[in-house]
Amino acid sequence: MKYSDIVSPIHSRALRHSGLSSAQVPLVSLVVPAHNAERFIEGTIRSLLSQTYRHIEVIVIDDGSSDRTAALVTSIQEEDPRVVLLRQANLGVAAARNAGIERARGELIAPVDADDLWYPRAIEKLAGCLDEQGPGVGIAYAWSAYIDEQGLLTGGFRAATLEGDVFATLLCHNFLGNASCTMLRRECFDVTGGYDSGFREHAEQGCEDWDFYLRVSEHYHFRVVPELLIGYRKVAGRMSSDSERMARSHSYMLQKVYKRHPRLPGFLSRISKSSFYLYLADEGGPASRGAWLRRAFASAPLLCLIRPRFYMLWVVDVFLSDSRSDIGTIPRTSDDGHSLESIRQRKWRLHTMLTAQKVFHSLLRIHDGARLSKAGIAGGETASGASDR
């Protein structure tokens, strides 16, 4: 297979430098669960088909949609045979992802939500990262830029540089941020059993992806591509009606973790709850913000006292609740317009975020590395015996 068959000519040189060999270029399967996604599904699929890396299949699972989702996908399928449409009853996002993965033929698999976007070199970069690593590295992730309902950049972003054995840090805080920013080796799904549809059976959907990544981290190391390659859509008000369900989902996820590893330190659970409640306070509406802040403080007081975001949210809740309908409307940058480059240039904010994450990650490893090993977690070793870089 030639480069010209896989990657567009303008980026062929970039692919050669990514470490991929022209003789053995892996097929990448992009798995897109979709339920009543007619508003965004076309843009999502076209962002995947426009990738510089062409050796892909896009598997869309219509999870019992009652709108035009299937018709839109079928129309695109007629234009490009790389698109595959599966249809099922509404069984939930976990079952939909598993159905797509079972159908996938690729050596590498990337989950993508039906309302997110992948920028042109995302597959090229993520596949190249995994190609450069040994089998002990099971997952590569990239940074995400936040986009609004029109697909425009808001100026917000999610970035991390954590690599290697990340289980403890990932348990405390979902630094990945969303379900669309990763690419995994197929064996990760075989080893972990894929996504857990039990969340839906318990009426506690929301943390299926976080739960899956935690189970992957118990067996494999993570690697990062430190570039903004994903457009993660944040729809105003979406979390406000779901926050209680999300909290129950998070609790169910923690129960599963401690059932697998009963010797895990309890403080990890308290930190995880506090961080997640702070997230709910940030993303939810003003009516529930104060309650989530109180729950975050009750779970881990010291953690809240050293987090600037806690104080900012408290000020917003006390002084701005009457004039702000959503925390997302509060400007987090002075820019009137945004581009990926303008987000990259805010180095002070990026540096602060990454430094805080590294310090927290290091403290967890120093403080409890031995106890995690005794609890049966990787603790610096993957299933394949790879060590931290």
Task: For residue range 106-161, list pLDDT tens digits in order.
Answer: 999 999 999 999 999 999 999 999 999 999 999 999 999 999 999 999 888 999 99
Q: Which pLDDT does position 340 carry in this prediction?
A: 72
What CA–CA distance (Å, rounded) separates 288 from 281?
A: 7
Per-residue confidence band for 371, with pLDDT thresholds at 50, 70 and 90: low
Residue of higher predicted confidence among 33 and 339: 33
Look up residue 5 and give its amino acid: D
pLDDT in tens, 203-230: 889 999 999 999 999 999 999 999 999 9
Round to the nearest angstrom and report the end-to-end CA distance of the chain: 32
Q: Between helices 93-103 and 208-217, what is the axis angle to 10°?
A: 50
**Is the pLDDT at 237 greater than 60, yes or no?**
no
- For residue 379, give both structure tokens: 């603790």
Question: Lowest-confidence range among 78-82, 157-161, 233-237, 298-302?
Answer: 233-237
**Is the pLDDT at 12 greater than 60, yes or no?**
no
Neighbours of 330 (CB within 10 A): 11
- For residue 212, give both structure tokens: 């899956």
pLDDT in tens, 162-206: 999 999 999 999 999 999 999 999 999 999 999 999 999 888 899
**Is the pLDDT at 343 greater than 90, yes or no?**
no
Residue of higher predicted confidence among 260 and 202: 260
Output the average pLDDT for the chain: 84
Residue of higher predicted confidence among 370 and 47: 47
Facing residues of 85 across strands?
Answer: 60
Facing residues of 111 across strands?
Answer: 31
User: Do the bridges between strand 137-147 and strand 153-158 make them parallel or antiparallel, or are there none, so unpaired?
Assistant: antiparallel
- For residue 181, give both structure tokens: 């920013």
Average of per-residue pLDDT across 330-341:
51
Average of per-residue pLDDT across 61-89:
98
Please name each of the domains of the chain with its CATH number: 3-233 (3.90.550.10), 243-322+341-374 (no CATH)
* Residue percentage of the chain with pLDDT more than 70: 77
What CA–CA distance (Å, rounded) separates 203 from 184?
A: 27
| E strand spans, the chain | 28-34, 56-63, 83-88, 108-111, 117-118, 137-147, 153-158, 182-185, 221-233
Residue of higher predicted confidence among 323 and 368: 368
Would you say 238 and 327 are in contact if contact means Cβ atoms under 8 Å apart? no
Average of per-residue pLDDT across 330-358:
61
Look up residue 252 and give its amino acid: Y
Per-residue confidence band for 14, with pLDDT thresholds at 50, 70 and 90: very low
Burial of 384 (0-12, 13-18, 19+ CB in 10 A): middle
**Is the pLDDT at 337 greater than 80, yes or no?**
no
Q: Which pLDDT does position 99 carry in this prediction?
A: 98
Question: Lowest-confidence range among 100-104, 161-165, 328-332, 374-378?
Answer: 328-332
Q: Which pLDDT does position 218 carry in this prediction?
A: 97
Using alpha carbons, select from 35, 30, 44, 29 the residue that is nearest to residue 88: 35
Q: Which pLDDT does position 1 carry in this prediction?
A: 41
Which DSSP string do the residues of 199-216 spell out, in sequence order?
HHHTT-TT-HHHHHHHHH
Q: What is the pTM of this model?
A: 0.84
Facing residues of 97 across strands?
Answer: none
**Is the pLDDT at 385 greater than 60, yes or no?**
no
Q: Hey, CA dihedral for 253, 257, 259, 265, is it positive or negative? A: negative
Burial of 15 (0-12, 13-18, 19+ CB in 10 A): buried
pLDDT in tens, 277-300: 999 998 877 888 999 999 999 999
Per-residue confidence band for 319, with pLDDT thresholds at 50, 70 and 90: confident
**Is the pLDDT at 361 greater than 60, yes or no?**
yes
